[in-house]
Amino acid sequence: MTDSKPRITLHEANASAEEGSSIAKLQAQVEALQYENSKLKKINHVLTQRVEMGWGNNSDPYRSFENAALLADKVKERTRQLQATLQDLEAANKHLEALKSHADKSTYLLQDIIENIPESFVMFDSERRVALANKRFLQFWQEAGVDVVLGATTSHDLKKQAVALGLVDNTNRTREIEGFPKQRMQDVLFRLKGNHWMQMTEKPTLDGGLMVLYSDLNIQSDEGDLRQEKALAEQARLLQNTLENMSLGVASVNGEGLLETWNPKFVELCGLSDNNVTRHVNFDTLLADTELAQLPRPNSGNAKVEPGKVIYFGELTLANGCVLLVRRHSIGDGGYLDTYADYTDRFYSQAALRESEHRIRLITDALPAMISYVNKNLDYEFVNKSFEDWFEKPRDQICGQAMSSVLGEDNYLVHKPYIEGALGGRTVNFEVSQSNGDKDSRDFRKTFIPHFSADRAVVGFFALEQDITAQRRTAQALQQAYEYMEKRVNARTHEISAINLQLRQEITERQQVEAHLIEAKKMADEANESKTRFLAAASHDLLQPMNAARLFATALRDQQLGDEAHQLVDSLGYSLENVEALISSLVDISKLEAGVVEAAPESFHIDDLLHKLAAEYRPQAQKIGLHLDYISSKAVIFSDSQLLARVLRNLLSNAIRYTPSGKLVLGCRRRVRGVEIQVWDTGIGIERSKLGEIFREFSRIDAARTRTDKGLGLGLAIVERLSRVLGHEVSVKSWPGKGSCFSLLVPFGQPLAPTIVNPIELDSVGLPLREARVLVVDNDHEICDGMKALLATWHCKVMTAQGLAQLNEEPELLEFQPQLMIADFHLDNDETGLQAIAAVHQRLQRDIPVILITADYTNELRQTAKSAGYVMLNKPVKPLKLKMLMSNFLRESKAREAAGAPN
């Protein structure tokens, strides 16, 4: 029975050893590149420092500084790229260390195999020196009195020793063993002293060496044969393990083009399936569907090629970016051995190093200064293009030459003290005059910077040389000009002294005037800031009594009164509205000037806002005989809904005020940049020449209305300033006697789910308020009374409280069980309405709808109320808007109760 498993020969093991040698050579190349890269990095570091110090070769100081700054940026960028390349190189080195470790393991395994061979084994290198031998071989010669030295003793020496010692019978004849072709293996018989026959088997290696195996033919016992077979089996097993654990892909093909031996790495690198790779499969057919099919195929009948000769060597880049290093060796009879090494990391690392070296060379060649590196033997190792240009020699004729021969003996003697200082570990700066052959002498500023090794020993120095001839000549010219100008200055000094005295007097007078102006401006600024702070801080106190008066007036209007009393109440309400409008306008302007109004934009449906504004202002328009229409829209805009509502309220109020008859239209149009909200009216219109004045404070166009309308002319000024806060563009078109159109361009928002706005009939607003239980919290007693009176006219049941203490002590709160809460934000003793709301919810053990009333316009409070689910109303409160909000809250609450959902 024959063993179907491929057997590994010493020839293939030797090929693996050659691959390890190739890896060692690649490692040496990488180390050489690392050394060159380290040297360039140091040059680059010194260049960066020199460039940042402002070195240049231009007579214009500013241009030299500008060029140096640009070059410094380029050097830093190239340094960053070099660092990235070094990181890649470190990764490649780690991979290379792993390959070396694996090669060492393979070498140890090969040594074990050789020691387990029952015959004497020796391997000679290409110069026939003993490179490797097992103990049996060394012991044989040691017993004969000959010391075999690895790497020194040659095969010729051993033959001479054998003849001299009489170990070989010279009368015997050698003969070839039948069945072994001479090209692959040669077996020779010879007789030792004492009629002892030995068989010597020779086989060439791939690198031109020779492997020799000596077998004792006199030992033919069965026991010896059995031991030999076991040793051979163990040898085959070890060789097979070595092959399977190699990092190289290996495939052996016989003379008929059939696959004989392979390892798993070959299957992996070629992208084959284990099921398709079998012994005696046609090798070309196996690789036909792979990227390795492009490799050249050996000619048929290739048996005449010398065994071990490399018949192909090259790189192959696969589609996935992997780079394979492929070697093909002839093994006689037309067969060949392929090895595949993954060369990707080393390939790209070396390419990156070469590119980095090229870039650094370009940078140094572009610098105007001469740059060079001199080793401790005072030989040049690196020069840039400026250095070549000055000495008129290519760098290959300079590098490797001594400084004395390049500079010349005279110049070298001048530089010698500074060279000794640099080699002593000091940075040396000096200036010298230097000539080169027939060239004129030039002045140079030079710096020698020592180069230290890891153990702080000086191994050379960097030299930076700048031609300062033009600078020195310029300095001399400047000195001459300075001396000339100094004479002229002395001549004019007397005249200037007189003029200077007069100027000092004028400066003193101007300083006094400037001091008075600064003081006046400071007083004006303080007065303006004081006014702004006063108006902003007093808004709550100003609006508090006004809010109470409005509540009482509205409550009084709903009472059963006579016609004359109703007329008086209407007049009172009209006066209060005018006063309220004046105070609100002043407060708005003061807050805008103080910068306390900030926008908090978000995406929302514009129709929600238009619907509410139309419902709010339609009763006012109907009251004076105007018809208000609004056009619904499905657009989504991005803005602050409350600030935008204040802008549109001012526009609607302005339109109602200046429209004697006709109608108003509130709508919007889609534009490219957003939604244009428009307010149309059929009012008195504005002259074109006055359109630029209407947005100024206290500006009123119609003189006749000035006498009857108590406004201050701040409405459009507030519109203009709020639009700037929102970042929206406001514009106006007007036709005198026909009407006007005010527009506001608002950007589009993010798409939202559509909302359904249910219109509310004004006659049904008060229906949910009947018997509704409302809790009112305000620190002002008059506000509480006014709110109680107003809500009573709406048939509500009201409980009032003026602070947290009264809320916590009120025993009837739990029995009252309010359905809605109206709370003022500012209470006494630094308490807030938010604390009062929390206290009520805690006592009731449930949440109820809340309307928060305040004169505070900050975004922080608005966001706090919004996140808590409260509706915020600004003072003074408009009764109709309050009534609509309360109706909506209570209607929704009753709907949830009917559906069985909790509040």
- Architecture of the domain whose range is 597-746: 2-Layer Sandwich (3.30)
- Residue 771's pLDDT band (cuts 50, 70, 90): confident
pLDDT computed for residue 669 by the predictor: 92
Mean local confidence (pLDDT), 746-753 = 84
Owner of token pair 């992996």: 268
What is the spatial distance between Cα 824 and Cα 364, in angstroms, rounded to a whole number?
76
β-sheet with 186-192: strand ranges across: 130-133, 120-124, 210-216, 196-204, 186-192
Tell whether the model's pLDDT for residue 50 goes beyond 60. no
As a whole number, mean pLDDT of residues 281-296 equals: 80
Q: What percent of the chain has pLDDT over 90?
A: 5
Lowest mean pLDDT among 24-28, 301-305, 517-521, 619-623: 301-305
Query: What pLDDT sits at residue 903?
Result: 54
The answer to whether 760 and 887 are in contact (CB under 8 A) is yes
Pick the CATH number of 766-899 from 3.40.50.2300, 3.20.20.80, 1.10.274.10, 1.10.260.40: 3.40.50.2300
Position 221 scores a pLDDT of 44
Q: What is the mean pLDDT of residues 7-15?
A: 45
SS3 call for 339: strand
Give the residue-averaged pLDDT of 820-829: 87
Can you give the pLDDT at residue 599?
Answer: 79
- Mean per-residue pLDDT, 582-593: 64
Q: What is the pLDDT of residue 567?
A: 64
Which range is least confidently modeled, 25-39, 265-279, 699-713? 699-713
Mean pLDDT of the chain: 76
Q: Is the pLDDT of residue 254 over 80?
A: yes
More confident residue, 508 or 11: 508
Lowest mean pLDDT among 349-358, 412-421, 684-693, 812-821: 349-358
What does the pLDDT look like over 67-94, one tens digit per residue?
555 665 666 666 666 666 667 767 777 7
**Residue 1 burial class via C-beta count within 10 angstroms: exposed 0-12, middle 13-18, buried 19 and up:** exposed
Work out the percent of the chain whose per-residue pLDDT is above 70: 70
- Determine contact, residues 732/856, Cβ cutoff 8 Å: no
Burial class (CB in 10 A: 0-12, 13-18, 19+), 562: exposed
Which of 170-184, 222-236, 241-255, 689-703 has the least mean pLDDT? 170-184
* pLDDT band, residue 281 (cuts 50/70/90): confident
169-198, pLDDT tens digit by residue?
654 444 443 333 333 445 666 667 666 677
Lowest mean pLDDT among 254-263, 359-368, 479-488: 359-368
User: Taking the mean position of all CA atoms in its chain, how far away is CA 519?
Assistant: 51
Higher pLDDT, 805 or 552: 805
How many CA atoms lie less than 13 Å away from 597 in the CB half-sphere? 22
Q: What is the pLDDT of residues 443-500, one digit of tens each?
A: 888 899 998 888 888 889 988 888 888 787 887 888 888 888 888 878 888 788 888 8
Q: Would you state the structure tokens that stand for residue 539, as one six-digit string?
A: 């808004």
Q: How many other CB atoms are there within 10 angstroms of residue 641's CB atom?
A: 19
Q: Which of 25-34, 248-257, 741-750 has the lowest mean pLDDT?
A: 25-34
Write down the pLDDT at residue 593.
64
pLDDT range class, residue 675, cuts 50, 70, 90: very high
The closest of 466, 451, 457 to 375, measured between CA atoms, is 451
**Is the pLDDT assigned to residue 697 strictly greater than 80?**
no
Answer yes or no: CATH 3.40.50.720 is held by domain 369-467.
no
Beta carbons within 8 Å of 541's beta carbon, 6+ residues apart: none
Burial, 404: exposed, middle or buried (Cβ in 10 Å; 0-12, 13-18, 19+)?
middle
CB 726 within 8 A of CB 643: yes
Task: Report pLDDT digits (tens) over 304-362.
Answer: 667 767 788 888 788 777 888 888 888 777 788 888 887 777 777 777 777 776 777 77
**For residue 833, pLDDT beyond 50:** yes
Closest residue by Cα to residue 338 from 348, 326, 349:
326
Sign of CA dihedral 26, 32, 33, 35: positive
Q: What distances in angstroms separate CA 756 from CA 632, 666, 746, one per listed residue?
A: 12, 19, 22
What pLDDT, on a 0 to 100 scale, did the predictor assign at position 564?
Answer: 67
CA angle 551, 554, 558 (to 5 degrees): 135
pLDDT in tens, 369-421: 888 889 988 899 888 888 888 888 888 888 888 888 888 888 888 888 999 99
Give the pLDDT mean for 872-898. 80
Quote the pLDDT of residue 2.
Answer: 39
Categorize the per-residue pLDDT at 55 as very low, low, confident or very high, splitting at 50, 70 and 90: very low
Residue 757 has pLDDT above 60, yes or no: no
Least confident of 341-355, 366-380, 553-567, 816-830: 553-567
Half-sphere exposure of 187 (CA within 13 A, CB side): 12
The number of residues in the chain equals 903
